[in-house]
Amino acid sequence: MQYSVIIPVYNAKETLRRCLDSLVRQQFSDYELLLINDGSTDGSDAICREYANTYSCVRYFVKENGGVSSARNLGLEQAEGEYILFVDSDDYVSENYFSVISDALDNNVVDLLMFGYCNFGSISAEWDTGEFNENTEVGIAIRVSSAMQQYLFSSLCSKAFKRHIIEQYNMCFANDLAIGEDQTFIFTYAMHICSISSLGNHLYNVDVSDGNSLSRKARPYLTEQLMEVNRRMYAAYQAIPHAPEAAKHYEAALSWMTYRSVYSSCKELLKFDLSAKRRRQEIRKICKLYRAEHVRPVGWKCRIIALPVQLGWSGAINWLIKNRER
């Protein structure tokens, strides 16, 4: 079997049919859909059973609620395909999803395949890295670093992963991370690949409707969680020896992600009812926490965004988070 598509399901009754129809109606047959019901209570179970009884490619699993990471991990344990793909139950894929991916991998077998995706709902946007093929250590490092700095390594569902690499290195999703578990998984996986390719095609559609976006809700845990994500990504990087030129690119990307996390943590404060004075106090606390991580900024862009953090310029950071989107 060529592809295993892992779909975590949790109270997705309103969007699940759209998601599944976009897959089962494809003009392609060499795949399996793994529906992982993570303790849904809204009628998703009946929909999953209907599709499992109707389509031989659908395999259905039910578990107690444990979060999206535990659902994906169960999918990884059950997957039989050569490549692993992930789809979220509130999203859908393009009508040529499998054919484009299959054509690309038939012509060029790679360890990690990336493709573009589109946001729809309250925010419309398109994201991709263009077309490329790399099979050298430095070339892979350049592409991975670039994708990280363009926020493309946070999109789990726009990539195809080789199952044997995941199994060889016992990779799984971190159940203790509320955010960033997908980014951590992707980066850890990338530390073990020998080739990477990207398609210019937009094959995946992400629902960013107001009701589906976690980022619109206040998250008091965000700072510590982002710091832990950064620590784990650094640990994954340090566990593998790298050529000096490759290491330079990875360190630039990791330092960029660390200091961007400061601004993400500070921007989260805008969701709370804080006075300007109190917000600046909280910003100084966040900066102090990140300075204690002793991450050296690499590259001139990173040094620029790191300077207010290192100097504790809460006023400058406060102005930036209020006046810039990212």
pLDDT at 211: 53
**Structure tokens, 179:** 């955010």
pLDDT tens-place string over residues 24-73: 999 999 999 999 999 999 999 999 999 999 999 999 999 999 999 999 99
Clarify whether residues 38 and 180 are in a common domain. yes
Place of tokens 């089962």: 24
Clarify whether residues 41 and 76 are in a common domain. yes
Which of 156, 191, 215 is the last residue in one of the domains? 215
Domain that holds residue 84: 3-215
What residue type is 8 in one-letter code?
A: P
pLDDT at 326: 44
Clarify whether residues 206 and 81 are in a common domain. yes
- Taking alpha carbons only, the member of 68, 90, 95, 71 closest to residue 16 is 90
Clarify whether residues 12 and 49 are in a common domain. yes
Number of structural domains found in the chain: 2
- Taking alpha carbons only, the member of 132, 142, 138, 137 closest to residue 253 is 142
**The dihedral sign for the CA sequence 284, 288, 294, 295:** negative
Distance of CA 215 to the CA centre of its chain: 14
pLDDT tens-place string over residues 85-135: 999 999 999 999 999 999 999 999 999 999 999 988 655 567 777 889 999
Mean pLDDT of the chain: 93
Task: Decide: 1 and 82 in contact? Cβ < 8 Å.
Answer: yes
Clarify whether residues 85 and 200 are in a common domain. yes
Clarify whether residues 231 and 170 are in a common domain. no
What pTM value is reported for the model?
0.93
Q: How far apart are CA 139 and CA 133, in angstroms?
A: 9
- Taking alpha carbons only, the member of 120, 109, 182 closest to residue 151 is 182
Helix (H) or strand (E) holding 75: helix 68-78
276-291 vs 244-268: helix crossing angle, rounded to 10: 160
The CATH number of whichever domain residue 114 belongs to comes to: 3.90.550.10
Beta strands in 131-190 (DSSP E): 132-134, 159-162
